Structure 1
């Protein structure tokens, strides 16, 4: 089946600055792809090239197999939602939502009907006669979504749509977007964010960006549980990267590593070159803090303890090599103090990633 979206070698330069390295990426029809990465990673630039707001320096953009690289934004048939809402302050809610329909020459009767439909879809039907200034941030973002959906786009682009909202409103809007996904199964979503929680909650697949280039892509659970690169392991889920020594391979999916004199089974997640340094990617919640001297535990010192609301973050230093790692501890019983010796237990089956290559 023809992909809904194709980036074919899309590169963006501003003078001597390369904002996006050549990007090859496809998005299937009905799929939600999250482009995830830190600021300056190139994710928003890629979205702007797709929308037609930025002219690629090289490469082609295809929508449903049709080359749209040379088409202006209004002729691409895309819905776009940005973080600043971009509502017209002098227009009421219904006027904002109707704007794109009128620009496409939709009749007055059909415009009125479709405005009502999409406002009801996003739960804003009763606010049709209000002005943007009379709405909360979350309500304005719902109106922006309604305006983008009114033209019935095959592809909906969302550029950091929730970043201007507070934490509670973001949770509400994530739930709203999940509901919309269920009600619009044929609509393709390309969602740009730096928030991994949003990406994991909403997307079918994640394209992880760094330094203007695509680092890794795959289904959300795969990238979280089996990251193939050092950057993916540390950025997505903040895994500890603990240096280990590769001892032996036992088939394609299991290797034995040595950590502080102890042997552990690990799962390789990408190609590892001979002699390459390797590390275990261990999520903080999988690090178990025990009493000092516990059997099969690595000696460590507590370097910091921070309350995180749902539990505590414990910063640790492994005694055998000085590596610094983090643990998440939910309870307060026996919580160690700074400077105290403890034991650290690392489970078998953690992903093994190569250090310094493909990061």
Structure 2
């Protein structure tokens, strides 16, 4: 699947701006971004639900930009599942097959196969109203898979589920991906955890534009854009001075009058740069000589640990940062000074 310079406009509103993106056969791509970033619009352009204002959509090298959704042969699962309430599960799954006028025996066999694939073989005679949210989602996926599409499009299919069920369905989607190695999955989500768990590659979107795309591990550990570092993994972006390049994508930076080894750094940063430090990698202690001074502004208990909001003291002022720690025993109270430790080797990203 390929997007070449695809833009979508609604009147004067730009919903998608000149997106170039390629997804390989059998690959899982997550379109990740906040609300209004253009990720669902990109999916709709692929599915044929919206007509690009510019650019082309290709499938296996063939231009499908002008084809209606029914002739693209793609599987689509939308947020509310869109099951037909008056049809039983088996008939919902069979709907696309009957529209293609397949023989009855083949329809029955494919319905049976796909319901078994998603673990819903025992629910064929039920109506959607008799199913839980997670079961309805499985039926929606089965209906999309029954036509044996080369590409399965998932538009935030887990957003309506509670947290525990969402974790179960992530595991289910991982199992399905292993069962269907030749099917390309394009998954729209605003949840970074889902994206990291499911996707081979992630395309980060913001303000109708593609910010950065690449393998999930590289974007998490080596982001090359400020927004990617902050949105994917919620990194603290701490302004630093680039002192020198040390080879192998490693650099030395200066923070608060002290030098730190850092990297990797993607390319040669120009202008202002920041150290991207994940909250769980920040250490917070009582004030100490070898630590960076900060003021503790807030404490939130999160069950498995604590989230701390701090103002890190810099030469030019202060920088708000967030830390995740297992315990606050031994720490001064809110409003008091603490000491912060920053590990070596954090990635460096350009600001702006």
TM-score exceeds 0.5: yes
* Residue 182 (1) aligns with residue 178 (2): yes
- Residue 183 of structure 1 deviates from its aligned partner by 0.5
Per-residue CA distance 1:312-353 (angstroms, 9 max, x = gap) = 011111233211111111124324420121111111110011
1:303 to 283, 297, 300: 297
Distance 1:108 1:337 in 2: 71
1:126 to 122, 127, 137: 122
2:222 to 219, 226, 238: 226
Per-residue CA distance 1:107-126 (angstroms, 9 max, x = gap) = 10110111011001101111
Distance 1:10 1:69 in 2: 10
> Please, which runs of 5 or more residues in structure 2 have no aligned partner?
none
> Please, which runs of 5 or more residues in structure 1 have no aligned partner?
none
DSSP 3-state at the match of 2:233: coil
* Residue 282 (1) aligns with residue 277 (2): yes
1:151 to 101, 122, 147: 147
Indicate if the aligned counterparts of 1:272 and 1:353 stay in contact, CA closer than 8 A. no
Distance 1:336 1:226 in 2: 34
Distance 1:67 1:115 in 2: 30
* Residue 163 (1) aligns with residue 151 (2): no
- Residue 252 of structure 1 deviates from its aligned partner by 4.5
Distance 2:331 2:111 in 1: 56
Distance 1:319 1:48 in 2: 46
DSSP 3-state at the match of 1:250: strand
Who is 1:246 aligned against? 242
DSSP 3-state at the match of 2:348: strand
DSSP 3-state at the match of 2:46: helix
Distance 1:56 1:24 in 2: 13
Task: List aligned pairs for 1:53-92, cutoff 5 A.
Answer: 53-92=49-88
Who is 1:312 aligned against? 306
Distance 2:331 2:286 in 1: 10
Who is 1:36 aligned against? 32
- The Cα RMSD (Å) is 1.0
Indicate if the aligned counterparts of 1:33 and 1:190 stay in contact, CA closer than 8 A. yes
Indicate if the aligned counterparts of 1:316 and 1:325 stay in contact, CA closer than 8 A. yes
Structure 1 stretches of at least 4 aligned residues deviating more than 4 Å after TM superposition:
none
2:95 to 94, 99, 122: 99
Distance 1:200 1:22 in 2: 25
Who is 1:200 aligned against? 196
DSSP 3-state at the match of 1:289: strand
DSSP 3-state at the match of 1:23: strand
- Bigger mean CA deviation after superposition, 160-169 or 244-253: 244-253
Who is 1:17 aligned against? 13
Indicate if the aligned counterparts of 1:36 and 1:43 stay in contact, CA closer than 8 A. yes
Distance 1:190 1:59 in 2: 19
Distance 2:207 2:267 in 1: 22
Distance 2:295 2:54 in 1: 52
Distance 1:278 1:192 in 2: 30
DSSP 3-state at the match of 2:242: strand
TM norm structure 1: 0.96
Distance 1:254 1:240 in 2: 19
DSSP 3-state at the match of 2:119: coil
Distance 2:121 2:328 in 1: 48
**Equivalent residues, number:** 350
- Residue 273 of structure 1 deviates from its aligned partner by 4.9
Indicate if the aligned counterparts of 1:268 and 1:353 stay in contact, CA closer than 8 A. no
Distance 1:58 1:319 in 2: 48
Distance 1:57 1:105 in 2: 33
1:292 to 287, 290, 297: 287
Indicate if the aligned counterparts of 1:229 and 1:270 stay in contact, CA closer than 8 A. no
